[in-house]
Chains A and B, each alone.
Chain A
């Protein structure tokens, strides 16, 4: 069965420090990988995606993510955290096949950035 795991419910980091939000997945084949962010009382917003090619992808607001095929991971990173980065982050995968265009989401990781 396809699944996405975000092992940390919450990540705390000081402003200016690097941050990592972890994601591992279990999907057959080579999926599309996504990160979304949810600010309070808002819908999810697309941050970045991995399709193919370079394992390090860059996205919005200075975020990047590193794809590791052997570890089936897609960790979200940012070199220097901002207080405004505090939000709920979701990792998601979508099969490249025709299985209903289904996107599977992780449970989410809440990021707190302290000033």
Chain B
């Protein structure tokens, strides 16, 4: 089954304790992206990657890191989480080729609470 898998789905942590949210897709997609969803703000892009070892900042990258060492995986790293990073996080992937419209496939979301 084609899917994007995120872990953990729910996490409560404390300020400053490093954490990683994993994302894996099995569709051989070139493009992967992280979004955060906050009430009234829709989805805002954190980082994206157009292929292995190619990553770039989205609209709200501060406080986050990413890496893309393998095509299928795109982990989101919070080196020193703060309460303003409490949010619902989504990983998404898409084909990225000429002529492709690139609708996104989303994971189920990871709800993060930073105390």
Q: Which residues of A contact B (CB under 8 A)?
A: 4, 9, 32, 34, 36, 41-46, 49, 51, 90, 94, 100-103, 105-108
Contacts of B50 in A (CB 8 A): 100-101
- Cβ A102 vs Cβ B48 within 8 A: yes
B102 CB-CB contact with A under 8 Å: yes
Contacts of A44 in B (CB 8 A): 43, 90, 92, 104, 106
Contacts of B96 in A (CB 8 A): 101
Residue in chain A with minimal CB distance to B109:
A43
15 contacts between A and B (CB under 8 A): A34-B103, A36-B106, A41-B109, A43-B4, A43-B107, A43-B109, A49-B103, A94-B102, A100-B50, A101-B48, A102-B45, A102-B48, A103-B33, A105-B43, A107-B40
If the complex has contacts A46-B104, A49-B101, A107-B40, are A101 and B109 also in contact, measured as CB distance less than 8 A? no
Report the Cα distance A32→B58, complex, angstroms: 19
Q: Which residues of B contact A (CB under 8 A)?
A: 4, 31, 33, 35, 40-45, 48, 50, 56, 58, 90, 92, 94, 96, 101-109
Report the Cα distance A32→B103, complex, angstroms: 9
- Cβ B41 vs Cβ A107 within 8 A: yes
Contacts of B48 in A (CB 8 A): 100-102
- Cβ B101 vs Cβ A32 within 8 A: yes
